[in-house]
Amino acid sequence: MAKRLIKYLVSSILILSGVALLAQNHEDGSNADHHKDTEHGRSGHKITLLMANSFIHNSFSDQTNNILIVPTFGFNYDYFFNARWGIGLHTDILLQQYKVEKHGGNEEILRENPVAICGMAVFKPHHRWILMAGYGVEVEKHESFQMIRAGVEYGIPLPKHWELGFSLEFDYKINTYSSLMFGVGFSKMLGRKNKTIT
């Protein structure tokens, strides 16, 4: 399980790094005035629709590869107090039924379209990167679990206050199971501009 999760994590980081390098090369050749007009250095609101895949270890699978890949849809709201710090409410739903086991035991748990709701602290160390961490609950009709979430996001500004983002998030469901989510999202920026972070 650990080797497969590490493999997916490394692959995701390599993809994000490649996107970051391409975007950086594009930015280096762009006009400085255009750089000032982009939305990466602003306070205010950010609304994101996210399409993702969640990678979940499933030891009850009959197949040789016991990593489940579950399609995930997310809706995130963030409010930035300034160009660096913000808070958010991140929600997502896993669009599948699956079985997992509890940490340290062989007890089987059935999950059917669980919905995660997390309060997040958000930090922008750079105008393209966002670090986030938070606490929440995964709600499901059979049983709900508390969870801790940590993640990173890389954003590419688009015209008319939009942004294309690539995110990688790790969810630890307390006393149950863990998952890794890699997604692509489109964000709409609302609010006043602030000084660009470099």
b/e sequence 152-164, b meaning 16+ C-beta within 10 Å? bbbbbbeeebebe
pLDDT interval class at 62 (50, 70, 90) = low
DSSP 89: E
* Structural domain contains residue 52: yes
pLDDT of residue 88: 96
What is the domain range of residue 149? 2-190
Write the CATH number for 76.
2.40.160.20
166 pLDDT exceeds 80?
yes
- Total tally of structural domains belonging to the chain: 1
31 pLDDT exceeds 60?
no
170 pLDDT exceeds 60?
yes
Element (H, E) at 83: none
Predicted model pTM: 0.73
* Structural domain contains residue 102: yes
* Structural domain contains residue 195: no
Mean per-residue pLDDT, 147-176: 94
* Structural domain contains residue 196: no
Q: What is the pLDDT of residues 108-131, one digit of tens each?
A: 888 999 999 999 999 999 889 999
